């Protein structure tokens, strides 16, 4: 920031504006004379000039600090290394020989694959975040004896003298190189597709060139890049080293197990790494072979639907079935292990094993990106109105994933008492008044009331008292004392359900019928207002041979990223009957959510008067149902100059189709506002 100041006398007599302007001009021309006349008492004016400076750090890095090679006489060998620019500005650099030329070994530096011009002592350039692969060419003379030669290369960053790196070169010259112990037709191994946490094997073919047996083990270098563990296998057992008999057509087996971490990214990842195979023979000969390995990593994910199973009323001695699904969300085949302990529940179609008793432990294989239906069969043996069990599902392809738990509930009641409930009264659900619906599937949205009407019809000629309790604190039973309010509530609830619950697929199966978002908000407010007039009840008194209409209201508050199936119910008891009656209440629960893409602050920049500039807000519907969104402006003066969607309204309503994106533009003349 820069500051400038100007001085003017403070004891001047009052003057007219014209005289003042003239004298200010004279003050500029005769600055020294005015300073002598008016003295030291002055007024100061400061002018602030803002400025900004971007400061960058220039840094050069080498891929290695040491180069080694073993050569024979009259040979040429290339040794590669990489120079990288870690800054976001281009930089010049130079590589020099720090010591005198080595006798017997000639060293020269080139850019890899460009051997036209040597690069020692020449000014080279690297782009921002760029790299350059260099090749050090070493030539040995014919009169060199067995010895070791050393040299030092110095790499200097010409923008920063402090950034200097050294490369130490060690060359061992021998008369003759030892021959190879083994030969590998292919030095690359593809482990293929594998689950994180799982194991896979691959074979490497090789030929033993000598007549001696050869030992092999894995080197320590580069193994940390494999994101897991690699070891040798012999007779289906992991070993540190193994022996290969002499001859042709031999092979060794590698076992690769990628590591699994819950914090890792669960997306597909391609992995490339190198392994060192160290071979040795009885005559103290050694050979090192580098093998390139490839693999594609996946994470096995399993889901179960539903996670709560309620068989409802089950008569003793009679069987009842329920089917749930396990979904494999991965693109590879997977397997799960289903475990539970029960005498009366079994998996239909599973072969019974001997000496298992009450324990059920079955493994199922699931095809890629598909689901497997499993049918449970219950045959109660005694009365138990609160039968409860837990079923555990273990992902065999990902043992570190948390087990899936499925709760099982049932009301095991004797046939005589079940018939007695039916003899006294009937409890029948009333299908919600929704047309164009093939099946009665209830869908509940988080923090949105879902109403399920029931008609209770008495079959006896005396008052019947029923006690009702729900299996969940978020499910209540209520009724209206005024039939008119009940009819109003049913009409509003039917319209609200039609707009909210996804009844939006036309008969052709393609067109989406979007509702009026503003109308949805009006119906929601009216529905909540009418529900306040209802009476939450736990007991129902049904007059002789008459009927009563009651409602089960479901208001779930938990967030569900995916649509899940919930199993609740109502327990109905009569004083004269010991076993209660269970009314199953099954519905699907989902939550509404959206995401605002891009920056939260929209800057229109400079806008001339009379011109328009627009910007877009991108809203993405993350749920599988229609999303109704309300966009409103703040009540400030500047926000009134912004038009949303070509409208001057303070509030606009949007409807976004499931898993789709909606863009809305705003046009300001001059000011800033906030949405």
Q: Tell me which of 409 and 381 has the higher pLDDT.
A: 409
Rounded CA separation 290/178 (Å): 18
The mean pLDDT of the chain is 79
- Could you tell me the two tokens for 374? 């499993």
CA angle 502, 507, 513 (to 5 degrees): 40
Tokens of 195: 């689950």
Answer yes or no: do 113 and 245 share one domain.
Answer: no
Say yes or no to pLDDT of 261 above 80. no
3-state DSSP assignment of residue 483: helix
At 554, give phi and psi (nearest 5°).
Answer: -115, 120
Is the pLDDT at 362 greater than 60? The verdict is: yes
Residues 460 and 578 in one domain: yes
- Of 320 and 497, the structure prediction assigns the larger pLDDT to 320
Q: Which of 153-157, 481-485, 543-547 has the lowest mean pLDDT?
A: 481-485
| Sign of the C-alpha dihedral computed for residues 531, 534, 536 and 540 taken in this order | negative
Among 174, 194, 223, give the residue marking a domain's end.
174
Strands (E), 417-563: 425-429, 443-445, 450-458, 464-470, 475-479, 535-536, 539-542, 547-554
Asked whether residue 154 falls in the same domain as residue 219, the answer is: no
Whether 214 is in a domain gets the answer yes
Which CATH number characterizes residue 644's domain?
2.60.40
Asked if residues 468 and 571 have their Cβ atoms less than 8 Å apart, the reply is yes
Tell me the C-alpha distance between 182 and 291, whole Å: 13
Global pTM reads: 0.46
Is residue 450 situated within a structural domain? yes
The answer to whether residues 257 and 228 touch, using CB atoms and an 8 Å cutoff, is yes
Q: What is the pLDDT of residues 590-606, one digit of tens each?
A: 888 888 887 777 777 77
Residue 672 domain-assigned?
no
41 with 17, same domain: the answer is: yes
Q: Assess if residue 419 is contained within a domain.
A: no
Q: Are residues 149 and 256 in the same domain?
A: no
Cβ-based neighbour number of residue 485 at 10 Å: 14
**Residue 101, domain member (yes or no):** yes
- Cα distance between residue 406 and residue 101, in whole Å: 76
- Domain-embedded: residue 563: yes
In angstroms, the Cα distances linking 340 to 271, 337, 376, 408, 550 are: 38, 10, 11, 10, 38
How many Å from the N-terminal Cα to the C-terminal Cα in the chain?
Answer: 34
Among the candidates 271, 298, 325, a domain finishes at 298
Rounded to whole angstroms, how far apart are CA atoms 526 and 353? 59
Give the mean model confidence (pLDDT) for residues 306-319: 86
Query: Which range (43-52, 129-138, 173-182) has the least confidence?
Result: 173-182
Please report where in the chains the tokens 């070493």 appear, as a residue: 138
In angstroms, the Cα distances linking 258 to 254, 297, 404 are: 13, 8, 23
| Confidence bin at 178 (pLDDT 50/70/90) | low
How many Cα atoms sit within 13 Å of 132 on the Cβ side? 23
SS3 state at 252: strand
**Tokens 């009331």, residue?**
449
Question: CB of 282 within 8 A of CB of 319?
Answer: no
Pairing of strands 661-667, 615-621: antiparallel
pLDDT number for residue 674: 31
Interval 481-527: pLDDT, tens: 888 888 888 888 888 877 776 544 433 434 444 557 778 888 888 88
Q: Find the CATH number of the domain harbouring 319.
A: 2.60.40.10
**Is the distance from CB of 301 to CB of 402 less than 8 angstroms?**
no
User: CA–CA separation, 649 vs 636, rounded Å?
Assistant: 14
Residue 374 has pLDDT above 90, yes or no: yes
Residue 346 has pLDDT above 60, yes or no: yes
Lowest average pLDDT, out of 302-311, 374-383, 643-652, goes to 643-652
> Is pLDDT at 112 greater than 60 in this prediction?
yes
Q: Encode pLDDT of 653-671 as tens digits.
A: 888 877 777 766 554 433 3
Which of 196-200, 322-326, 359-363, 580-584 has the least mean pLDDT? 580-584
Bridge pairing between strands 308-315 and 404-413: parallel
Confidence of residue 266 (pLDDT cuts 50, 70, 90): low
pLDDT value, residue 632? 83
Q: Which percentage of the chain shows pLDDT scores above 70?
A: 81
Residues 83 and 143 in one domain: yes
Give the 3-state secondary structure of residue 104.
Answer: coil
Q: Per the structure, how many domains does the chain have?
A: 6
Which residue has tokens 């400038």? 4
Which string of DSSP letters, residue by residue, matches 577-611?
A: EEEEEEEEEEEEEE---EEEES-SS-------TT-
End residue of a domain, out of 298, 322, 352? 298
Assess if residue 609 is contained within a domain.
yes
Q: Among 307, 308, 313, 309, which residue's Cα sits nearest to residue 571?
A: 313
104 plus 129 within the same structural domain: yes
| Peptide bond just before 648 cis, omega within 30 deg | no
Same domain, 444 and 578: yes
Which range among 18-27, 252-261, 453-462, 634-643 shows the weakest confidence by mean pLDDT?
Answer: 18-27
Question: Residue 109 in contact with residue 135, Cβ under 8 Å?
Answer: yes
pLDDT reported for residue 439:
40
Q: Is the pLDDT of residue 568 over 70?
A: yes
Q: Does the residue 503 lie in any domain?
A: yes
Question: 123 and 188, same structural domain?
Answer: no
Q: What is the pLDDT of residue 181?
A: 82
Best mean pLDDT range from 96-105, 278-287, 467-476, 552-561 = 467-476
- Does position 37 have pLDDT exceeding 50, yes or no? no
Q: What is the pLDDT of residue 14?
A: 45
Query: If 0-12 CB within 10 Å is exposed, 13-18 middle and 19+ buried, where does residue 471 land?
Result: middle
Residue 661 and residue 613 in one domain: yes
Please report the pLDDT score of residue 356 as a whole number: 56
Find the mean pLDDT for residues 564-575.
82
Q: Which two tokens stand for residue 102?
A: 């080595």
Q: Domain limits at 461?
A: 425-590
Same domain membership, residue 523 and residue 463: yes
531 and 468 share one domain: yes
For residues 499 and 293, the model is more confident at: 293
pLDDT number for residue 505 = 40
* Per-residue model confidence as pLDDT tens digits over 201-226: 998 888 888 778 888 888 765 555 67
At 326, list the tokens.
């396990």
């Amino acid at each position: 920031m820069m500051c400038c100041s100007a001085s003017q006398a403070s004891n001047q007599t009052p003057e007219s504006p014209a005289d003042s302007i003239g004298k200010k001009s004279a003050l500029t021309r005769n600055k020294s004379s005015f300073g002598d006349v008016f003295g030291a008492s002055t007024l100061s004016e400061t002018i602030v000039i803002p400025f900004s400076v971007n400061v960058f750090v220039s840094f050069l890095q080498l891929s290695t600090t040491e180069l080694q090679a073993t050569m024979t006489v009259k040979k040429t060998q290339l040794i590669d290394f990489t120079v990288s620019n870690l800054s976001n500005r281009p930089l010049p650099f130079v590589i020099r020989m720090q010591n005198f030329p080595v006798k017997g070994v000639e060293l020269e530096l080139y850019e890899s694959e460009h051997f036209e011009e040597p690069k020692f002592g020449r000014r080279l350039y690297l782009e921002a975040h760029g790299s350059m692969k260099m090749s050090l060419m070493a030539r040995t003379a014919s009169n060199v004896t067995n010895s070791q030669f050393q040299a030092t290369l110095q790499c200097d960053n010409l923008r920063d003298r402090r950034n200097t790196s050294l490369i130490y070169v060690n060359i061992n010259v021998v008369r003759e190189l030892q021959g190879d112990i083994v030969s590998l037709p292919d030095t690359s191994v593809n482990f293929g597709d594998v689950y994180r946490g799982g194991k896979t094997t691959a074979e490497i073919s090789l030929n033993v060139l000598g007549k001696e047996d050869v030992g092999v083990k894995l080197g320590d270098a580069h193994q940390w890049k494999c994101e897991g563990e690699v070891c040798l296998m012999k007779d289906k057992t992991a070993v540190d080293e193994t022996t290969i008999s002499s001859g042709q057509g031999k092979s060794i087996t590698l076992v690769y197990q990628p590591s699994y971490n819950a914090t890792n990214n669960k997306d597909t990842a391609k992995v490339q790494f190198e392994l060192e195979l160290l071979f040795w023979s009885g005559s103290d000969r050694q050979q090192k072979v580098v093998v390139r390995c490839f693999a594609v990593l996946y994470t096995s994910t399993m889901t179960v639907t539903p996670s709560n199973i309620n068989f409802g009323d089950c008569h003793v001695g009679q069987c009842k079935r329920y089917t749930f699904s396990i979904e494999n969300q991965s693109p590879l085949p997977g397997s799960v292990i289903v475990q539970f302990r029960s005498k009366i529940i079994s998996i239909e179609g599973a072969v019974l094993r001997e000496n298992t008793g009450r324990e059920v432990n079955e493994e199922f294989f699931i095809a890629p990106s598909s689901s497997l239906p499993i049918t449970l069969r219950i045959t109660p043996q005694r009365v138990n109105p609160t039968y409860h069990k837990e079923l555990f599902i273990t992902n065999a392809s990902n043992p570190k994933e948390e087990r899936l738990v499925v709760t099982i509930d049932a009301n095991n009641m004797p046939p005589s008492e079940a018939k007695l409930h039916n003899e006294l009264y009937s409890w029948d659900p009333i299908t919600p008044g929704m047309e164009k619906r093939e099946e009665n599937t209830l869908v509940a949205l988080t923090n949105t009331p879902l109403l399920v009407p029931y008609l209770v019809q008495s079959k006896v000629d005396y008052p019947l008292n029923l006690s009702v309790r729900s299996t969940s604190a978020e499910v209540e039973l209520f009724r209206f004392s005024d039939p008119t309010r009940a009819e109003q509530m049913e009409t509003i609830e039917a319209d609200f359900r039609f707009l909210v619950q996804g009844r939006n697929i036309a008969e052709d199966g393609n067109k989406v019928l979007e509702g009026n978002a503003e109308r949805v908000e009006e119906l929601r407010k009216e529905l909540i207002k009418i529900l306040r007039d209802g009476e939450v009840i736990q007991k129902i008194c049904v007059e002789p041979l008459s009927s009563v209409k009651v409602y089960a209201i479901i208001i779930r508050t938990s967030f569900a990223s995916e649509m899940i199936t919930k199993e609740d119910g109502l327990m109905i008891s009569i004083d004269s009957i010991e076993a209660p009656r269970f009314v199953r209440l099954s519905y699907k629960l989902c939550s509404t959510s959206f995401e605002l893409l891009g920056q939260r602050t929209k800057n229109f920049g400079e806008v001339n008067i009379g011109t328009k500039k627009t910007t877009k807000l991108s809203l993405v519907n993350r749920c599988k149902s229609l999303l109704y969104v309300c966009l409103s402006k703040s009540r400030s003066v500047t926000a009134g100059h912004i038009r949303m969607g070509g409208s001057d309204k303070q509030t606009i309503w949007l409807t976004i189709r499931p898993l789709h994106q909606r863009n809305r533009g705003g046009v300001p003349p001059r000011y800033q506002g906030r949405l």
